[in-house]
Chains A and B, each alone.
Chain A
Amino acid sequence: MERQVLLGNGAVARGIVESGCRLFSAYPGTPSSEILPEVARFKAEEGADLWVEWATNEKAALEMAVAASYAGLRAAAAMKQVGLNVASDPLLSAAYLGVAGGLVIVVADDPGPHSSQTEQDTRLFAMVAKLPVFDPSTPREAMEMVGEAFRLSEEHRLPVIVRLTTRVCHAGQSIPCGEIPTFDGQAHFQKDPQRWAATPRFRYILHGELNEKLAAVRESFESSPLNYLSNGSISSPPDGGGRGGGQLGIIAGGACYAAVRELLFETGLVEQISLLKIGTPHPLPLKLAGDFVARHERVLVLEEPDFAIEVQLSDRGRVMGRLDGTVPSAGELTPEVVYQVLADVLARLEIAGLPPLADSRLDELVAGLQLPIRKPRLCPGCPHRSSFFALRQVFGSRAIYPSDIGCYTLGSNQRAVDTVLDMGAAINVATGFYHALQQTENPPAVAATIGDSTFIHSGLPALVNAVYTQARFVLVILDNETTAMTGFQPTAATGYLSDGSQGGRVPLLDMVQGCGVRFVRVVDPYDQEATQSAFEAARDFASDAEAGGVAVVIARRPCALRDPARVRVGRPIIADECDGCRYCLLNFECPAMLYDEVKKRVFIDERICVECGQCVHACHKGFITV
Chain B
Amino acid sequence: MKGSETNAVRSVDLKLVLAGVGGQGVLFATRLLSETAQALGLEFISSEIHGMSQRGGSVVSHLKIGSYESPLVRRGSADVLLAFTPDEGYRNLSFLRSDGDFVINCPDLESLDGEIRAHLAERGVKFHPLDADGLARESPRVANVALVGFAVGRGVIALPAASVQAALESVSPERFRALNVEAFQRGLEAGENIETFEVSKTSKVLSFTKRA
Contact = CB atoms under 8 A, between A and B. Distances in A.
Interface of A: 3, 5, 7, 30-31, 33, 114-115, 137-139, 166-167, 170-174, 234-235, 255, 257-259, 261-263, 334-336, 339, 357-359, 361-363, 365-366, 368-369, 371-372, 374, 376-380, 485, 487, 591, 608
Given A114-B49, A362-B120, A258 B94 contact: no
B197 interface: no
B55 A608 contact: yes
A374 to B, nearest CB: 5
Which 9 A-B residue pairs are closest in the complex by CB-CB distance?
A115-B51, A335-B74, A258-B70, A235-B67, A171-B71, A258-B69, A172-B46, A376-B52, A259-B70
Contact of A5 (B31, B48, B50): B31
A171 B37 CA distance: 15
A372 to B, nearest CB: 7
A95 B51 CA distance: 32
A485 B51 CA distance: 7
Given A339-B74, A359-B123, A371-B87, 6 more contacts: A166-B49, A174-B34, A262-B69, A365-B113, A376-B54, A608-B55
Contacts of A366: 90-91, 93-94, 116
A170 B50 contact: yes
A114 B48 CA distance: 12
A261 B71 CA distance: 12
Contacts of B57: 374, 376
A31 B50 contact: yes
A369 B113 contact: yes
Contacts of B119: 361-362, 365
Contacts of B75: 335-336, 357-358
Given A235-B67, A374-B58, A115 B50 contact: yes
A314 B67 CA distance: 35
Nearest to A335: B74
A436 B130 CA distance: 61
A167 B51 contact: no
Given A335-B70, A376-B52, A171 B47 contact: yes
Contacts of A174: 34, 37-38, 43-44
Contacts of B45: 138-139, 171-173
A336 B74 contact: yes
Contacts of B30: 172
Contacts of A263: 74
A608 B55 CA distance: 8
B58 A358 contact: no
B29 interface: no
A256 to B, nearest CB: 8
B115 A365 contact: yes
B87 to A, nearest CB: 5
B86 to A, nearest CB: 9
B35 interface: yes
Nearest to A234: B67
A408 to B, nearest CB: 12
Nearest to B97: A359
